[in-house]
Amino acid sequence: MRQTPQLALVENKVDASEKSVRDDISSIFEQVLGHPVKITDGTDIVEDLGMDSLGVMNFVMAIEDFYDISIPLDRIAQIQTVGDLIHAVDDLRSGNPS
């Protein structure tokens, strides 16, 4: 009932070691949305990419699985742009909790 099959696809297709976080995120966006997207640090995830709140949550979970991190809800609430997301992922990967 709550399957999100595209997420499995995401985990398999992107190779974390060779790409920057922005490239990874771009690939994951494309797979979740099903079409190519052009993103910059200033891209607004909801406004520019047309994701609803549930889409954002599922997308965030895909990112979390990909990097083996958990993004706390208060951090997610602060994420508006792709740049914010990259910043949060970098922080959490470097072990900086906030």
Determine the Cα–Cα distance for residues 91 and 94; give it in Å rounded to an integer.
5
Q: Applying CB under 8 A, which of residues 70, 78, 90, 93 lies at the interface with other proteins?
A: 70
CB of 32 to other proteins, least distance (A): 14
Q: How far is CA 43 from CA 13, 33, 49, 61, in A?
A: 23, 15, 8, 19
Cα dist. 33→2, 75, 94 in Å? Answer: 17, 23, 28
* Region of 10-18, 30-38, 49-57, 83-91 interacting with other proteins (CB under 8 A): 49-57
- Of 18 and 68, which CB lies nearer to other proteins in the complex structure? 68
**Residue number, 25 or 60, with CB nearest to other proteins:** 60
